[in-house]
Amino acid sequence: MAADRDAGVVQRTDAWIAHAVTGALAGAAWIGAAGLAFAMLAAGLGAGTAMSRWPAALALLLALPQLWLLLRVAIDRRLFGALATGAQGQSDLSGLDAALLELGWMPAARAARPLPERARGALRLVRASAVLTVCQLLLALLSLILR
């Protein structure tokens, strides 16, 4: 009886973790879009002088990993959303692992990880996107100053 109750608590906790990560990933999409806007702003401002071109070029280079992060965030958001709405514990994670392995999107050594570990990985994407966005903002401001 206690084991069933503990399993139910873990399933509910996993569902809430998945909901929280889905929300964070939704925010990361906006953060990434802002980073791309800052890169475009820097590019426009960098057209002025030779001195303002290097920060503009760097901001545009940072747009490439930002685009990759936006793709990863979009994929992970859908996956965590599915786990949040249909979280049935380890069986959902097993099915997810099987699909990711079939697609070649995950090495076999990373299969069977618990949801909190996966959530920490997804949240690293959010932080990386935020760091890139701040860098792109600073480069846009530098382009404006050097203009």
Domain count, the chain: 1
pLDDT 10s digits, 97-113: 999 999 999 999 999 89
Question: b vs e for 16-43, b when ≥16 Cβ sit within 10 Å of the residue's Cβ?
Answer: ebbbebbebbeebbebbebbbebbbbbb
pLDDT 10s digits, 11-22: 778 889 999 999
pLDDT 10s digits, 38-85: 999 999 988 878 888 899 999 999 999 999 999 999 999 999 999 988
| Distance separating alpha carbons of residues 80 and 28, to the nearest angstrom | 14
Which residues 6+ apart lie within 8 Å of 88 measured at CB? 11
| Distance separating alpha carbons of residues 110 and 101, to the nearest angstrom | 10
Instruction: Using the predicted structure, report yes or no on whether residue 31 has a pLDDT greater than 80.
Output: yes
Domain around 75: 2-146
pTM of the entire structure? Answer: 0.85
What single-letter DSSP state applies at residue 46?
Answer: T
